[in-house]
Structure 1
Amino acid sequence: MTTAPLTEAEFGELARTGPAVVGMSALRAGLRGRRLLLLKALLIRVQRERDQIDPAVVHRFEDAWRLLERAERAHPVVVRDVLDYPTTGSWLAAALGAGPGAELGQRLARFESIAVTAALRAGCPLDIGVAAPQGVLSLAGVGHFRVGAERIRIRARGRVARIAPEGARTAHGVLVLAHPGAGRLTGLGPAWSALRALPGATALLDDLDPYRVPPGGVGAPPRTATDRAATDDRTWTRRWREAQRLLDRVDPVRSAEVRRTVRAVVPLSAGGPPAVPMSATLRAAPGAVLASLPSSPRTMAETLVHEVHHSKLAALHELVPLHRAGRASVHRVGWRSDPRPIAGVLQGAYAHLALTDLWWRAVVADGAPPGWRTRAEQRFERFHVQVGGALEILLESDELTIAGREFANQMRRHHASLGGVRGPLG
């Protein structure tokens, strides 16, 4: 029914919104394999279209490719970490979707900084020129330097790298390989801005990366990314910490899953009315949660669980296709005012099934605050009915694959096991 490396037991646990540690490892491996394929597809495209691209851009891209290969030989785990970072996926999608010629050439500049990030973290000696669009050297998953020049020179030896505008005699910035075994970088000087780590996890509050949100924003009305000056990092950190504490009290296994899965939290602008929160994931960037600032710890906890399950399902569909493409049928679901294609029905049903599971546990567990318990009971009753209706749509559809039908059946079994908020856990 499923394809390796997922077993039927792991597939079933994922369908029931479980944290399936082994299954999640398989999903991450599948995503890594897909990302490498997309990177190779970009290399092939550059080779095929090289006559339409500035020769200097092609030359720098090929130099960066060789640098990435050298870094991979020196420290493969670090290179995988850089390539796995969510914004690397966003950049790849943008590059592969770019128009020919100058548009593609403009996107290729980002690859230079990705290769340099990997090489610096791997401890490779360097003496290389790198693009710094708008005078900023952006290092994925690390931070950025404001260098005031479109081309810079990086010279690295040992654990120290010095950065200067191309042709300058003195360094304008310094990067230090602070933790050689883990490949972690830190910068020195006023031109340096580091991504902030969220407590108790590997997640970063990413308000710097130029590829953290698509150019047109996300949602309706579109929400754009907040920049460093507009990000209330103290409140974000407090919300994250308090949300983790809530999840630890109600569902510690799911709390651990959130900490393992989320690589980046991307703050979004308020955009619409303040009472209307916004959160999203990008198919090209699993592991990133894009969100406006949640109003409370419980909202933050629910947002994280919701978006983690969108990422899980998108990753699973890449590994084991759950539905067929090309159909135009749309369906009504309880949580949306607009009709949804079958892929949207499945995504919404899965994420809301995970939330109904969380709300159920908030009602029956001893650790939930009274206010959240009352709200959870109300939302459970509402969304349990809505998810049930969506599951009927899925199981009556001919657009699911065989694996997709089994996945929906497993979802239905878990949905039925929840019963009512007064029933025992299934």
Structure 2
Amino acid sequence: MPSLFPTPRSHVLTPRSFDELLGGGGGPATVGALRASERSWRLLVVRALLDTAATAPVGPLPPPSDAWRLLTRAWEASRQAVEALLAYPAVGVWAAHTLRRLRGSAEDDAPLWADTGHLHALATAAAVRAGLEFRTDVPVRHGWAVLPSLGAMRVPEAGEWGVAEAAARAGGVRIAGRPLEGPDWHPLAELRADGCTLLLDPVDPYRALRKNLAAAPLDSSAGWQELFGEAWEILRGTDPEAARALADGLVALVPRPRSERFRPHSASSGDAFGAALTSFPDDGEQFASTLVHEFQHNKLSAFMHLFTLYDDRGTAGLHYAPWRDDPRPLGGLLQGVYAFFGVTAFWRRRPHPLGQFEFALWRSQTAYALRAIGRSDALTDLGRRLVAELSGRLEPWLAEPVDPRARSAADLAIADHRATWRAYHLRPGPEEVRARVETGPSPAEPALVPGTPERGFDTRAVLLRWLLADPAGFEALREDPGATVDGARPEDVDLVTGRTTPALAAFRARIARGDGDPETWVGLGLAARAEGDPAGEALLARPELAMAQYADAGGRPDPLELGRRLASRV
């Protein structure tokens, strides 16, 4: 009998593949090697889950041994079908999440038997793929019975948590007595382009990559298909080899509702090689950038399953990540620089105003983060080599000419994000807050105490994107910017359009009346810098200190005068 868990094999990357991945790339052969290594990783996790779940409660489902027998039958009938199913990204999330629950390192509102019992759904999907006749039970979640990689059946009578019979005979496959050809069955759609096919999965309970979701079938996939076609043409035209590699590596796309324009949401997971979660894109170009971003995460996660880039014991600290509002651990920062290296390379080849802005923004922010990572003593030798390779490839891009308007906009967005992050997350000590100017330069970096942002740090960057990409739309949002760009204020509009004198007055007045949140202090610094006031650079360099000194003085000092005094210390 063939074994689902053959003798372990070692995986070796060729020198070329190794160098490609260290440099942020990876062609089709390299991605093929990663897929092979991820197969072994997946089987190890599934095997660990099965061993750990041997004594777990089964609830209303049959014992796991029944599912295992059905899965083995499917393997004997069609190894290729079962291999494809086991490689399905959501299967990896299920196995890893359930194993963590069994080991006590993860929690979930779902009954444990529903997670462990998902093996029955997996076996059923394998049997359907292999064309077997069978009868079994599968778990029902929130009224849905899901067969991984195939689709979902609506079973409202089973309630929130229940079971449904799944059977295949000469008459076809039925779940809860309903045929897969009927109106209650929602099969997965395929997104197709010349040379690339992705499953569009809105139903798998593990598709969210980090938590369980109820099935939410789409009314239509036509909009996704149209934008995917546009994105694929852009990817092929931008870098044909990278596009082929992406097509070989990505398997499934998890759709999420449309988010605010210029604020897409996307995610991936090291447990789900081949998957990308994304909100409905603004256009094909944004879709292409998102696919590049998430596939970079996929590649690095697979690489890190083979090699160690940093020492877990030395990564307790949190760091500034130029693409996040929250402080990040070293591993998260590494993932970010790898992803945004790919994003930078993508926008480098998009010469229109928005593309120039994105290129200027992300080349600077990625280089900034790479320099920070390079100072960490937690990196392994290989981790330092990866940082050096990415830095070496990025360095020449920093000198490439960019349209002055786009460059100026990117400089504003960079200064805004860095200063706002400091204002929210750093806290100077009492002795520094009350120090006199003549005591000399400021001492060591203040303590990191993660705060809770009032709005997205990218708010003014989003306004800049509107201004560059859609001037007419920007004019329409001027009157009430917060209605279109969440968190935006009229003074932000003045700032990004160069009306710095009224912006400065508005920020100053807001602070005077007691509404001086971090965004306002940073806005004051940005406007003052544009006006040539030395307070500007000081407020941007140490906004957390300016805010603390202002509060300590009871809100009496003029904020600009305070900034000018601070300038001699920073």
TM superposition score normalised by structure 1: 0.81
Question: Aligned partner of 1:306: which letter?
Answer: H
Cross-structure match for 2:207: 212
SS at match of 2:135: strand
Cross-structure match for 2:490: none
Quote how far apart the aligned CAs of 1:422 are. 5.4
1:1-400 alignment to 2 at 5 Å? 4-47=11-54, 49-50=55-56, 53-54=57-58, 57=61, 59-98=62-101, 103-147=111-155, 148-149=157-158, 150-157=162-169, 161-163=172-174, 165=176, 171-173=177-179, 187-200=180-193, 201-213=196-208, 227-229=216-218, 233-270=221-258, 273-326=260-313, 327-363=315-351, 373-400=352-379
Instruction: State which drifts further: 388-397 or 314-323.
Output: 388-397
Quote how far apart the aligned CAs of 1:235 are. 1.6
Cross-structure match for 2:446: none
Within 1, Cα distance between the matches of 2:365 and 2:214? Answer: 31
Quote how far apart the aligned CAs of 1:131 are. 3.3
Q: CA 1:225 to 1:417, structure 2 compared with 1: closer, same or farther past 3 Å?
A: farther
Within 1, Cα distance between the matches of 2:317 and 2:220? Answer: 42
Unaligned 5+ residue runs, structure 2?
1-9, 105-109, 403-570
Quote how far apart the aligned CAs of 1:362 are. 2.7
Q: Contact 1:152 / 1:163 at 8 angstroms: preserved in 2?
A: no
Quote how far apart the aligned CAs of 1:225 are. 8.0
SS at match of 1:247: helix
Q: Contact 1:226 / 1:267 at 8 angstroms: preserved in 2?
A: no
Within 1, Cα distance between the matches of 2:58 and 2:188? Answer: 33
Within 2, Cα distance between the matches of 1:65 and 1:112? Answer: 8
Following superposition, which runs of at least 4 residues in structure 1 exceed 6 angstroms of deviation? none
RMSD over aligned CA atoms reads 2.7
Instruction: State which drifts further: 390-399 or 292-301.
Output: 390-399
Give the fraction of aligned pairs with identical amino acids, expressed as a percent: 32
Q: Contact 1:75 / 1:122 at 8 angstroms: preserved in 2?
A: yes
Within 1, Cα distance between the matches of 2:297 and 2:220? Answer: 26
Q: Contact 2:268 / 2:275 at 8 angstroms: preserved in 1?
A: yes
Question: Aligned partner of 2:322: which letter?
Answer: G
Question: 1:402 aligned to 2:381?
Answer: yes
Cross-structure match for 2:429: none
Quote how far apart the aligned CAs of 1:241 are. 0.8
Q: Contact 1:225 / 1:268 at 8 angstroms: preserved in 2?
A: no
Question: Aligned partner of 1:264: which letter?
Answer: A
Within 2, Cα distance between the matches of 1:278 and 1:13? Answer: 28
Quote how far apart the aligned CAs of 1:281 are. 0.9
Within 2, Cα distance between the matches of 1:232 and 1:127? Answer: 32
Instruction: State which drifts further: 36-45 or 334-343.
Output: 334-343
Quote how far apart the aligned CAs of 1:164 are. 5.1
Unaligned 5+ residue runs, structure 1?
166-170, 174-186, 218-223, 364-372
Instruction: State which drifts further: 149-158 or 26-35.
Output: 149-158
Question: Aligned partner of 1:406: which letter?
Answer: R
Quote how far apart the aligned CAs of 1:135 are. 4.4
Quote how far apart the aligned CAs of 1:138 are. 1.0
Quote how far apart the aligned CAs of 1:238 are. 1.1
Within 2, Cα distance between the matches of 1:299 and 1:21? Answer: 23
Q: How many residues are treated as equivalent by the alignment? A: 381
Quote how far apart the aligned CAs of 1:248 are. 1.9
Q: CA 1:8 to 1:412, structure 2 compared with 1: closer, same or farther past 3 Å?
A: farther
Quote how far apart the aligned CAs of 1:137 are. 2.5
Quote how far apart the aligned CAs of 1:313 are. 0.7
Question: Aligned partner of 1:387: which letter?
Answer: T
Quote how far apart the aligned CAs of 1:134 are. 4.4
Q: CA 1:234 to 1:254, structure 2 compared with 1: closer, same or farther past 3 Å?
A: same
Q: Contact 1:243 / 1:300 at 8 angstroms: preserved in 2?
A: yes
Q: CA 1:20 to 1:225, structure 2 compared with 1: closer, same or farther past 3 Å?
A: farther
C-alpha distance after superposition, 1:110-151 (max 9, x if no partner): 110101111221123323333334443311111122244444
Q: Contact 1:27 / 1:319 at 8 angstroms: preserved in 2?
A: no
TM superposition score normalised by structure 2: 0.62
SS at match of 1:120: helix
SS at match of 1:42: helix
C-alpha distance after superposition, 1:253-303 (max 9, x if no partner): 2222332222121122356x5552211112222222111111111111111
SS at match of 2:172: strand
SS at match of 2:192: coil
Q: CA 1:383 to 1:136, structure 2 compared with 1: closer, same or farther past 3 Å?
A: closer
C-alpha distance after superposition, 1:304-352 (max 9, x if no partner): 1011101111111111121221321222233333322211221111111
Q: CA 1:407 to 1:89, structure 2 compared with 1: closer, same or farther past 3 Å?
A: same
Larger CA Rg, structure 1 vs 2 = 2
Quote how far apart the aligned CAs of 1:56 are. 6.3
Q: CA 1:233 to 1:336, structure 2 compared with 1: closer, same or farther past 3 Å?
A: same
